[in-house]
Structure 1
């Protein structure tokens, strides 16, 4: 069998979820594959009674749902462009801020961060009629629909509100959310958790959608956040004072929450009136319902009085077990010895954390007005952003389910509250959590205070907030070193030039130029790193060899060689030598396709690398 001694073209798209799902099916049920296709009749036979083919079954559906599913599955050829000038501590930070449509961004980084994120928090548009709603390409009739109803301008640009109160009002929001949540699920670790803020406008629909995407069995809670502390008396019927936060796990069986730190108030309930050597304690009711007949028996108190459990109840302990508790001084009969018996619970024996309840009060996690005040304080009293979420609210989510080294994601990041919450928690517990934030670079209105102060896009406010919050936290915690940096990227079309058969440019001229004019080597390197599925924060060593740029990623996991007809055999030899020294079992090397002066140089380079241990499939071109 002859070996392929030519460069393998590097994969040019993001993850193909459809292909991955089919591959998993083939692995699980190889017998369903006929001539490379899935035979669903065979699959139904294998699944047997688990297949529901009845016409009358529950479905949650809407116009465009299928297209939204397909949109989530479709790969993208887009990439991220690095912006070092907008970044902070580029070389050392693990934090990422992406400007662009989150649907594109999630697809672009999927290979690099699939199954690696511990906590996702998003605060999407609530669809109140005043919120921005993304309109995706799958809505083939949306442009004409919006134009006819005056929701786009003469150039076809979407206005910033979803103003229809009927028709496609809910449909557009559902389509927008479905594809993004579908992608979000792929980022979560098996023990990962997602929190989604919402209000009454779409809460019912969002719950059904998340049940479908994440599975009803992975629903953890619907939290009530008390976002307001005083009534709005102008309201006719009710003054709404809360929002919802839906909480789902990737796999609920694998999730173990951290709980909340015990408060001084909780510990103050413990005392030691009988001077027990085991320390302070509190007491719990000994009776429990409904009654278990074997545990209904009289108890004689030290005072001599006899008591029974209340009607319909029994004692929590069997009689032999109760006697053991009495002998161990774990039953409290009151200071006079005449009280109904209670079980002693010692502080030294309880968990160091408290299980959270589903109502989160503003005293504990902040309210909307406090969030606005805190943000204004960062920006010297300027109100640049409406209705931010409190840092304490997101910090509680991270406390409950993140580990000190977790990756946190927020792809509707707004004013970048999640970044500040992550930094504050790291400063509090010396953690190394990293965040990935995505935000659409919405243009700011010329009449806004932010515009007058020089900001042009919402993302500029988010990036500035990260800088200011980091500086503030560092002053508050001078004893702690934490990651205050951030790498800023933007969504863009691929760096790779793709020949259009309708173009006037000949295929020969096209082949002479690999990359889009004006793109930097760092932009091309970023695209290669993403297409190879590597973490963007991996360290990169740069070398210059005979006019070519050699980038060594993560100590030799990936080698990228760029140069327009300047790549020589010396470069290939340098890569081979470095690979041998690294003692890695496998690595990938990617060359600029037109980097060699001729095909003989290419072939010789391939043999040098193969002799060093590179597999032919891992010697690629871009």
Structure 2
């Protein structure tokens, strides 16, 4: 039994009046920089029979902090990405990317290298349910203690981002969420190709605001559709308003609508045949397995019998059949069910060509059940790890449907900057395995610490990124094994070479490789400059420097990297002769003559790496003379 305590203070008349006005005029309640407020101009209008003069009206979405959000998107960053080879798979050759860090800073860093190069973006951002975090982009470094409590400082003490709770009772509940989303979506749009598309998962809390926000950023004319995904398979009886919210929305916008259309797919007639001379004509077989286990849908778990052989066939305990007993019996009577000869086979259903309404199937705004449910996403993660390590992941089948619509499967790049459990990476690899595509993924995720009481933390995972990276490794292994098993079964093993890219390069957001004097020399006196003879931080490796050079020069992070030796010095060779980088000391004229023989398009040295000032001038002149197409820079 709890006892209410007296607050021992007088009534707050202002709050009381606010509540009364909000009850009478809910449309006049708004959000200001200080929190919830009353829109007095609108209140005046509610209390007048004539039009009250005030601020000029216009049709647009406004919220406290919008101007700051615009500025935030446009502010440059001095941060960089550092490669993490020990966490990567096939670092030198893979074209897939996984980046740890605040997605706002990462999106800024990708603006040069991936401007107009991304075919599809999928994100599953915080839904603003009142129980999740929003990013706070105007955090201050001195608030290190509170930031640490929010889990936004990495294990080396680097401040990665600001996160804070955003309860539904907060005065800036919608405004803070909009301020978080605006700069990220604005930067994301820049990365899309002209016919590129973004898919954004969202629920009822912010779908209305997100639609208006995207109308502003992408343009109302570039709205593609709002997809409805049935996320719940079982009705939720816990909802206090007695309405079970069983779906989520996926908003879709194109970079430029005239260059884009949902791909749909043309049904291949080669899949149809008539091996049993069925009078109804050519047919193909479809699975009759469902998605619900016995506890969820007991009526879909039963045995069926082949009427010709009497063989009994049971459904898997974790899926069940697609149809009820009555519907299944009718299909068996109509000889629509194809029974296998072996008892361990699986019955399938005939789908006749004559029953197709069209040879072309576009994407319906109501996604089919084959997209899966949240429970399927949870099961996929559990199957890979053996335990539940992630809450409410999207199913691979859902993302596969979106990828099929948004990409052609060639060399398209797919970006997900709210990576979470890395379902998008899993789906990309899975779909490439199925159709032979060469799609590449870029995953971005803030390394949010995991609850110490969770199963994942007990298993040794410290943050979400560690789960995501391990999922990609496990999913790649599973996909590779399943592909190998299939080719063996099909008798193609002798001639099979698996060329699919199962690797990924890991990069981590960090402060610049350059000393502060590099950016603000005016802050230092001449007597201090001797301490900065080398303007690069002492803890930075050649790999770190090469990554920052790729970003500064606008080169993709996925380019093939190898090392060669020229005149006894280590040279990084990027995409053959696209870029040569040497960070060794003692660079002189003889080295320049040797490197000029390869005619690289670009070459980079450390400013402190030349033998002397004379050598620095001579190297530049020699390269101009011997390899005039080579562009030289120093850091």
Could you tell me the TM-score, scaled by structure 2's length?
0.71
Check 1:225–1:261 CA distance in 2 against 1; reply closer, same or farther (3 A cut): farther
Write the distance in 2 (CA, Å) between the matches of 1:275 and 1:378: 43
Structure 2 match to 1:562: 583
Task: Map residues 63-462 of structure 1 onto 2, 5 A cutoff.
Answer: 63-137=64-138, 161-235=165-239, 236-260=241-265, 262=267, 352-361=359-368, 363-380=369-386, 382-404=387-409, 405-462=411-468
SS at 1:424 equivalent:
helix
SS at 2:597 equivalent:
helix
Which of 454, 467, 473 aligns to 2:473? It is 467
Which of 512, 515, 520 aligns to 1:494? It is 512
SS at 1:467 equivalent:
helix
Structure 1 residue 261: Cα displacement: 6.0
Check 1:384–1:275 CA distance in 2 against 1; reply closer, same or farther (3 A cut): closer
Write the distance in 2 (CA, Å) between the matches of 1:349 and 1:373: 33
Task: Map residues 4-19 of structure 1 onto 2, 5 A cutoff.
Answer: none
Range moving further from structure 2, 230-239 or 400-409: 230-239
Write the distance in 2 (CA, Å) between the matches of 1:567 and 1:127: 55
Q: Which runs of 5+ in 2 are unaligned?
A: 1-54, 284-352, 488-497
Write the distance in 1 (CA, Å) between the matches of 2:512 and 2:143: 25
Structure 2 match to 1:288: none
Give deviations 1:72-120, integer Å, cap 9, x for gaps.
Answer: 1122111110011101111221100000000111111221111111110
SS at 1:119 equivalent:
strand
Check 1:447–1:347 CA distance in 2 against 1; reply closer, same or farther (3 A cut): same
Write the distance in 2 (CA, Å) between the matches of 1:228 and 1:275: 37
Range moving further from structure 2, 449-458 or 70-79: 70-79
Q: Residues 88 and 486 of structure 1 are in contact (CA less than 8 Å); yes or no, is this contact kept in structure 2?
A: yes
Structure 2 match to 1:578: 598
Structure 1 residue 450: Cα displacement: 0.8
SS at 1:446 equivalent:
coil
Give deviations 1:112-138, integer Å, cap 9, x for gaps.
Answer: 11111111000000011111211002x
Give deviations 1:187-227, integer Å, cap 9, x for gaps.
Answer: 10111000000001111000000000000000000011000
SS at 1:477 equivalent:
helix
Structure 1 residue 255: Cα displacement: 0.9
Write the distance in 1 (CA, Å) between the matches of 2:431 and 2:391: 24
Q: Residues 366 and 393 of structure 1 are in contact (CA less than 8 Å); yes or no, is this contact kept in structure 2?
A: yes
Q: Residues 126 and 198 of structure 1 are in contact (CA less than 8 Å); yes or no, is this contact kept in structure 2?
A: yes
Write the distance in 2 (CA, Å) between the matches of 1:93 and 1:151: 34
Structure 1 match to 2:328: none
Cα root mean square deviation, aligned: 3.3
Check 1:95–1:273 CA distance in 2 against 1; reply closer, same or farther (3 A cut): closer
Write the distance in 2 (CA, Å) between the matches of 1:99 and 1:68: 23
Write the distance in 2 (CA, Å) between the matches of 1:507 and 1:518: 20
Structure 1 residue 350: Cα displacement: 8.6
Write the distance in 2 (CA, Å) between the matches of 1:512 and 1:93: 36
Give deviations 1:282-325, integer Å, cap 9, x for gaps.
Answer: xxxxxxxxxxxxxxxxxxxxxxxxxxxxxxxxxxxxxxxxxxxx
Structure 1 match to 2:562: 541
Q: Which runs of 5+ in 1 are unaligned?
A: 1-53, 281-345
Which of 601, 607, 624 aligns to 1:593? It is 607
Query: How many residues are aligned here?
Result: 484
Give deviations 1:567-604, integer Å, cap 9, x for gaps.
Answer: 1222211221110xx7xxxx222221011121111111
Q: Residues 428 and 440 of structure 2 are in contact (CA less than 8 Å); yes or no, is this contact kept in structure 1?
A: yes
Q: Residues 214 and 250 of structure 1 are in contact (CA less than 8 Å); yes or no, is this contact kept in structure 2?
A: yes
Write the distance in 1 (CA, Å) between the matches of 2:366 and 2:272: 21
Check 1:355–1:159 CA distance in 2 against 1; reply closer, same or farther (3 A cut): closer
Range moving further from structure 2, 535-544 or 433-442: 535-544
SS at 2:577 equivalent:
coil
Range moving further from structure 2, 410-419 or 348-357: 348-357
Structure 1 residue 142: Cα displacement: 13
Q: Residues 124 and 197 of structure 1 are in contact (CA less than 8 Å); yes or no, is this contact kept in structure 2?
A: yes
Write the distance in 1 (CA, Å) between the matches of 2:96 and 2:360: 29
